[in-house]
């Protein structure tokens, strides 16, 4: 299984809502990532978990809250988002050390109204 799955595929939420994005991989990877991608732009790194511990937080606003319940799962909790947060949210995983390929999921298309 060389797949990273993400749910939901699409999400529409109001600025007062609380929602969560889910990511799952069963490749035994020990590093997992959240990226944000705006239209016609490259992915921007948000968070990295390494061995289930938060390794990188790219100064992301606190309205985004990551969680790594176990080595296969990664969540992104969303609260009080702004319309400018509308984007494609990508999850990725890699085996766990540098010089390794990241495998991306299909993303969750988020629209904040």
Partner 1 sequence: QQQVKQSPQSLIVQKGGISIINCAYENTAFDYFPWYQQFPGKGPALLIAIRPDVSEKKEGRFTISFNKSAKQFSLHIMDSQPGDSATYFCAARVTGGFKTIFGAGTRLFVKA
Q: Contact positions toward partner 1, by CB under 8 A?
A: 4, 31, 33, 40-43, 45, 48, 50, 55-56, 90, 92, 94, 98-107, 109
Nearest CB to partner 1, comparing residues 34 and 64: 34
Nearest CB to partner 1, comparing residues 4 and 78: 4
The residues, any chain, with a CB within 8 Å of residue 94's CB and separated by 6 or more, are 29, 31, 33, 100, 101, 102, 103
Closest CA to 78 of 87, 70, 49, 5: 87
The 3-state DSSP class for residue 83 equals helix
Nearest CB to partner 1, comparing residues 94 and 112: 94
Q: How far is the CB of 10 from partner 1 (least distance, A)?
A: 10
């Amino acid at each position: 299984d060389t797949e990273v799955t993400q749910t939901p595929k699409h999400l529409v939420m109001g600025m007062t809502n609380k929602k969560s994005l889910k990511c799952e991989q069963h490749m035994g990877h020990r590093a997992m990532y959240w990226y944000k991608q705006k239209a016609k732009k490259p992915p921007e790194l948000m968070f990295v978990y390494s061995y289930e511990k938060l390794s990188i937080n790219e100064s992301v606003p606190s309205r985004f809250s990551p969680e790594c319940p176990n080595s296969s799962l990664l969540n992104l909790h969303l609260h009080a988002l702004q319309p400018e947060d509308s984007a494609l949210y990508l999850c990725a995983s890699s085996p766990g050390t540098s010089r390794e390929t990241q495998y991306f999921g299909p993303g969750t298309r988020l629209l904040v109204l």
